[in-house]
Chain A
Amino acid sequence: MLQGWVIVAASFAYIGLLFAIAYYGDKRAEAGRSVIANPWIYSLSLAVYATAWTFYGSVGRAASDGVGFLPIYLGPTLMIVLWWFVVRKMIRIAKTNRITSLADFIASRYGRSALLGGLVTVIAVIGILPYISLQLKAVSNSFQILLQYPEIVMPQRTGELDVMKDTAFYVALFMAMFTIAFGTRHLDAAERHEGMVAAIAFESLVKLVAFLAVGLFVTFWIYDGVGDIFSRAARQADLRALMAPFGGAAGGYASWVWLMVLSMLAIVFLPRQFQVAVIENVDEKHVKRAMWLFPLYMLAMNVFVLPVAFGGLLLFPLGTVDADTFVLTIPMAHKAEVLTLLVFIGGLSAATGMVIVETIALSTMVCNDLVMPVLLRIKALRLTEQRDISSLLLDIRRAAIIAILMGGYFYYLLAGEAYALVAIGLVSFAAVAQFAPAMLGGLYWKGGTRAGALAGLAGGFLIWMYTLLVPAFARSGWIGSEILSRGPWGIELLRPTELFGLSGLDSTTHAMIWSMLVNVGLYVGVSVLGRQAAAEHAQATLFVDVLRQATEPRAGSRWRGTISASSLQTLLGRFVGPARAAELFSTYARERGFEHAEQLEGDGELVRYVELHLAGAIGGASARAMVATIVEEEPLGIEEVMTILDEASQVIAYSHRLEEQQRELEAAKRGLEAANERLRELDRLKDEFVSTVTHELRTPLTSIRAFSEILHDNADLEAEERQRFLGLVIKESERLTRLINQVLDLAKIESGVADWQSARIDLREIVTEAVGATSAIFRARGVSVETCLPAAVPEVVADRDRVMQVLLNLLSNAAKFSPAGTGRVRVSLGAEGREVRVDVQDNGIGIDAAHQAVIFEKFRQVGDPLTNKPSGTGLGLAICRRIVDHFGGRLWVESEPERGALFSFTLPAADPVEAGLEAAAA
């Protein structure tokens, strides 16, 4: 009954069921009641790891080397123990940054590098092609075998290649359409596909049930339990060897360990595993249960591999049936039609599950990280101005899906026949393992740089191509096989499978050792030697510290630019469709308590929101570029620089500021101290002044009072004596009056309330007048006065009376201190540059250097040498100096003891051109 049409019909019915499940899943997701939001579905979706390789290939591998298939599942079992740290971190990062794929993740980590995203995409696509070809081979082989039912005939490729008659080609086409229908129906869910996940989980159940059914059938129907199978097998020497295979069929322990390492990396870095484990994850708590449920699934999937393999080996004569087909051919041999069909469906499940998720993940990468960055940079396409390019995005993804599956088909054509299923899959494992250094380093080492990641990935990938891809092509005869035996250009040291003479290892182990050495070496080396750009550093910190951040990093708050909310909505609309954009905006508005999206402001948070949703559609690097086209942001780097400042320099800046403030405070304190000191000095001076003035006032007052009382009490005084006493009273009264006047005068000058007159005056006139006024004093002391006046001097602007006061003071001093009788005083006047200078020279006792400075201070007078008694009030010169200072001149003394003294003062000459104005003003 198993005609071709039955098989095809069953296949389509099954696919139809998957569609129904996916449709239901999507509907539920739209209604907000996710069917996949539970740890069981999450765990089952992870089982997309079990592909046709597992379904058919494990038995094949077991038949050739016993336990050799197990590391592929033991590795993930170990790795998943660490998921609580590694994958949870990835999930957190992916959700925070709306990561759409593995390439997006790596590109984002290293400063949203489009180049890196592209490289990762290329590696992923090329690396995964063998894996896809494996699925095509498995499905087409099983289909061809099934068509021969009940005969068991191994499919043989005919000599000439006729693509149009090749089942695998139609399988590839069929899968492409199927994937397109599944994964690219709509774009709005962006990076997540709930329906697909639901279907994948269902497929995982189907393939498990199918395989367990075969296992039970073989073990308990055909044979009498596992003991029966193994005891029969133990009687055959070649099968006995498989039971303790190390050192024999399974090769060394090194291959075993390397396979385990390889699959540990594959379970994280295979694009489809990253898709289901990280991108499609609903809640990171689901990881918790998956950590034991998924290994348990793998255990169940593998528990009957060995019985089936040994059963098949016992059943079929050696070499007649390919062990990779035992799962199908054993039920066929026993005419178990329903089981056979179930197995076919199970195999189809395993293959389609893998192909769907893998190609969707890859097509997202190709679209977001390879095609879009290029298209957006081609200005001629004017993509940034189109209203809605979401359909373009879908078309790119559809094309990518077809291209990837066709690529897988051509790999199958070129290399598929030469290898067993598992060997083909391992080539892909080795390829995705190249992502490990950049990914794990990026998660835990802030120092990893973009250049390091690029170098490591490129180096590792080139080694992978040379050591795994080239031999595969060589063995299949596509390129000359002499490169394997003699090396390129006859250089044996460079033989792809024994690079630099490293021999004795299987090809995968050999490739892993060299590619990882180069990859890790370049990644670490270039990172350490190079320098991180600001953008990279910001992202590195964001990624490595993601678990430490309590909430979403508010990167948007660092954005400093201006943009209207509506232009952001338009931008988002171009990529996800205007309706979806409007919906997203109103959701956003509602969350922030606005009624309408129109009320939103284009702040940093909204930009971030838009960028995140764009990233969901076109990837992080492109999203950033798109936002940058409309957001007038500061030049690239400011935001990142701010992050770094936030992190480290803020502390430094803060302490700088503190230091600065402290310095300012100290300066202010010093200023205050100085001011305080000055105030205290002023206070002390004032006290001293008051005290001195008091003393100076009391002295004449004492005499006046004493003589007044004497005159009052002694009426009998002689007239002569009375007259003398009255004369003293009058003299002391005059002294008192003078003193009071001068004190008041000085006080007025110092407090700035003095009444200054300003007029153009001729100093010759004033000097002449002053000498005339003091001539009586000079005559009385017998001192001669000589005046020396030039014919003309420039006029000065000053107060006539004040200048007269100065001259009188200087002249009376000169008279006082010149020796009586022999004294000579010379007054001279002259113009000096822009100044007019007056000199008063005497031939008196002179002033020693120590006193020259202080005589101009208040109450500092040099005593009369004869009486050693100060004469005058001690205020005269102080007042003179202030007067001269007021008019912009200088007053000083030059003298030596016993050599006379020269008092001089200058006043600035008036500007001749202002003469008229000055006169008018005066």
Chain B
Amino acid sequence: MSARILIAEDEPSIVASLDFLMRRCGFDTRLASDGTSALEQVADFRPDLVILDVMLPGRSGLDVCRAIRERPEWGSIRVLMLTARGGSADITTGLGAGADDYMTKPFATRELVARVRSLLQANPA
């Protein structure tokens, strides 16, 4: 069974690129353009991994990440944070909120794919 990926990102063109990349890898994808719908999709879709933009409208990516980590039954969900702000403080905050990995925009597509694969393999489930 192929891995399920939730893409939570508000910029349509970026969503389009991420969606293409994940599908190309053979993953099942769902899309969410704001924090609230992202959490709904997490509950509904039960993704293995969430690509989460920090600057989401509604609830921010950090909020969504914390909410996911609060639910033990979602403990196996990997979270990869994406941000346009590249400061180390942002990375620390993101990891502090419970993210498994962190990438800044603009990212290299191959690196992104490699990280997603690596996160999914580390998943014991």
Q: Which residues of A line the B interface, CB within 8 A?
A: 691, 694-695, 698-707, 709-710, 713-714, 725, 728, 731-732, 863, 867-869
Asked if B43 is an interface residue, CB under 8 A from chain A, the answer is no
Specify the chain B residue showing the minimal Cβ separation from A705. B106
Bound-complex Cα distance A869 to B56 (A): 9
Chain B residues near A694 (CB, 8 Å)? 84-86
Chain B's interface: helix, strand, loop or mixed, by majority? loop
Additional A-B contacts beyond A695-B84, A698-B86, A702-B105 (14; CB < 8 A): A698-B104, A699-B11, A699-B105, A701-B106, A702-B84, A705-B108, A706-B14, A706-B18, A706-B21, A706-B106, A710-B17, A725-B17, A868-B57, A869-B10
If A695-B85, A868-B34 touch, whether A728 touches B13 (CB-CB below 8 Å) is yes
Q: How far is the CA of A705 from the CA of B34 in the complex (A)?
A: 23
Q: Does B16 contact A (CB under 8 A)?
A: yes
Chain A residue nearest to B15 in the complex (CB) = A703
Counting from the closest, the 8 A-B pairs by CB-CB distance are A706-B17, A703-B13, A702-B105, A698-B84, A702-B106, A705-B106, A695-B84, A709-B109
Task: Give the residues in chain A near B16, CB-CB below 8 Å.
Answer: 703, 725, 728
Establish whether residues A869 and B14, one from each chain, have CB atoms under 8 Å apart when the complex forms.
no
A698–B85 alpha-carbon span in the complex (Å): 8
B105 touches A701 (CB 8 A): yes
Pair A699/B110 contact, Cβ less than 8 Å: no
In angstroms, Cα B71 to Cα A221, docked, is 145
In the complex, how many angstroms separate the beta carbon of B70 from the nearest chain A beta carbon? 25
Within 8 Å by CB of A731, from B13, B20, B24, B109, lies B13
Cross-chain contact of B33 among A698, A700, A707, A867 (Cβ < 8 A): A867
Q: Is the CB of A869 within 8 A of B107?
A: no
B26 at the interface (CB under 8 A from A): no
A860 to chain B, nearest CB (A): 15
Name which residue of chain B comes closest to A700, CB basis: B13
Residue B96 is within 8 A (CB to CB) of chain A in the complex: no
> Which B residues are in CB contact (< 8 Å) with A710?
17, 20-21, 109
Report whether A703 and B110 are in contact in the complex, using a CB–CB cutoff of 8 Å.
no
Chain A residues with CB under 8 Å of B109's CB are 705-706, 709-710, 713
Residue B55 at the A interface, CB < 8 A?
Answer: yes
12 A-B contacts, Cβ less than 8 Å apart? A694-B86, A699-B14, A701-B106, A702-B106, A703-B11, A706-B107, A707-B13, A725-B17, A728-B16, A868-B57, A869-B10, A869-B33
In the complex, what distance in Å separates the CA atom of A863 from the CA atom of B57?
A: 9
The interface centre, meaning the residue of B14, B33, B34 with most chain A CB atoms within 10 A of its CB, is B14
**Closest CB in chain A relative to B108 CB, distance in Å:** 7
Docked complex: B57-83 residues within 8 A CB-CB of A: 57-58
Report the bound CA distance from A700 to B24 in whole Å. Answer: 22
Whether A709 and B108, one on each chain, are in contact in the complex, defined by CB atoms closer than 8 angstroms, is yes
**Shortest Cβ gap from A404 to chain B (Å):** 107
B122 to chain A, nearest CB (A): 24
Chain A residues whose C-beta falls within 8 Å of the C-beta of B17 in the assembled complex:
702-703, 706-707, 710, 725, 728
In the complex, chain A residues whose CB is within 8 Å of the CB of B55: 695
Considering the chains assembled together, what is the distance between the CA atoms of A701 and B104 in angstroms? 12
Output the least CB separation between A690 and chain B (Å): 11
Q: How far is the CB of A703 from chain B (nearest CB, A)?
A: 4
* Cα distance, A693 to B86, chains bound together (Å): 13
By a beta-carbon cutoff of 8 Å, the part of chain B in contact with chain A is: 10-11, 13-14, 16-18, 20-21, 24, 33-34, 55, 57-58, 84-86, 104-110
Q: Is the CB of B57 within 8 A of A699?
A: no
Residues of B within 8 A of A728 (CB): 13, 16-17
B59 to chain A, nearest CB (A): 12
Distance between Cα atoms of A732 and B110 in the complex (Å): 21
What are the residues of chain B within 8 A of A695 when measuring CB–CB? 55, 84-85
Total A-B pairs in contact (CB under 8 Å)?
72
Residue among B17, B24, B34, B55 with most chain A CB within 10 A: B17
Assembled-state Cα–Cα distance A270/B41 (Å): 122
Please, which residues of chain B bring their CB within 8 A of the CB of A691?
Answer: 85
CB pair A869 B84 closer than 8 Å: no
How far does the Cβ of A869 sit from chain B's closest Cβ, in whole Å?
A: 6
Q: In the complex, what distance in Å separates the CA atom of A713 from the CA atom of B10?
A: 25
Docked Cα-Cα span, A732 to B106, in Å, equals 13
A701 closest partner in B (C-beta): B106
Q: Which residue of A lies closest to B16 (CB)?
A: A728
Name the contact of A869 in the complex, choosing from B18, B21, B57, B86 (C-beta under 8 A): B57
Min CB gap A694→B, angstroms: 7
Cα–Cα, bound, A701→B108 (Å)? 12
Chain A residues contacting B21 (CB-CB under 8 Å) are: 706, 710
CB distance from A658 to the nearest CB of B (A): 48
Q: Which residues on the A side are within 8 Å of B18 (C-beta)?
A: 706
Q: Does the CB pair A702–B14 fall under 8 Å?
A: yes
Residues of B within 8 A of A702 (CB): 11, 14, 17, 84, 105-107
Residue of A nearest to B17 (CB): A706
Whole-angstrom distance between the alpha carbons of A710 and B112 in the complex?
12
**Closest residue of B by beta carbon distance from A721:** B20
Rounded to whole Å, the gap between the CB of A198 and the closest CB of chain B is 104
Instruction: Give the chain B neighbours of A869 by CB distance below 8 A.
Output: 10, 33, 57
**Is the beta-carbon distance between B34 and A699 smaller than 8 angstroms?**
no
A666–B14 Cα distance when bound, in Å, is: 55
For B104, list chain A residues within 8 Å (CB).
698
A695: nearest chain-B partner, CB-CB: B84
User: Inside 8 A of A867's CB, which chain B residues have their CB?
Assistant: 33
| Closest residue on chain B to residue A696 by CB atoms | B84
Q: A699-B84, A702-B84, A703-B14 are in contact. Are A714 and B106 (CB under 8 A)?
A: no
- Give Cα A714 to B14, complex, Å: 17
Return the contact of A713 from the options B57, B86, B110 (Cβ within 8 A). B110
Within the complex, what minimum Cβ distance (angstroms) separates A697 from chain B? 8
User: Looking across the interface, which residue of chain A has its beta carbon closest to that of B58?
Assistant: A868
Contact B110 A709 (CB under 8 A): yes
Q: Which of B10, B21, B86, B105 has the most CB of A within 10 A?
A: B105
What is the minimal beta-carbon distance from A568 to any residue of chain B, in angstroms?
Answer: 84
Q: Which residues of B contact A706 (CB under 8 A)?
A: 14, 17-18, 21, 106-107, 109
Q: How far is the CB of A331 from chain B (nearest CB, A)?
A: 127
Cα distance, A709 to B33, chains bound together (Å): 23
CA separation between A714 and B106, bound complex, in Å? 19
CB distance from B22 to the nearest CB of A (A): 12
Give A688 Cβ to nearest chain B Cβ, in Å. 11
Q: Which residues of A contact B34 (CB under 8 A)?
A: 868
**A698 is contacted by which of B10, B57, B105, B110 (Cβ under 8 Å)?**
B105
Task: Return A691 CB to nearest CB of chain B, in Å.
Answer: 6
A808 to B23 alpha-carbon distance, docked (Å): 41
Q: Give the distance to chain B from A841, nearest Cβ to Cβ, in Å.
A: 28
Q: How far is the CA of A705 from the CA of B110 in the complex (A)?
A: 12
Q: Which residue of A lies closest to B20 (CB)?
A: A710
Report Cα–Cα, A694/B85, bound state, in Å: 7
Bound: A432/B33 CA distance, A = 116
Which residue on chain B has the smallest CB distance to residue A732? B13
What is the minimal beta-carbon distance from A874 to any residue of chain B, in angstroms? Answer: 13
A295 CA / B37 CA spacing, docked (Å): 122
State in angstroms the CA–CA spacing of A728 and B12 once bound together: 10
Shortest distance from the beta carbon of B31 to any chain A beta carbon, whole Å = 13
Give CA–CA (A308, B83) in the complex, Å: 132
Which of B13, B18, B55 lies at the interface centre, i.e. has the most chain A CB atoms within 10 A of its CB? B13
Across the interface, which residues of B come within 8 angstroms of A703, CB to CB? 11, 13-14, 16-17
When chains A and B are docked, how far (Å) is the Cα of A782 from the Cα of B16?
27
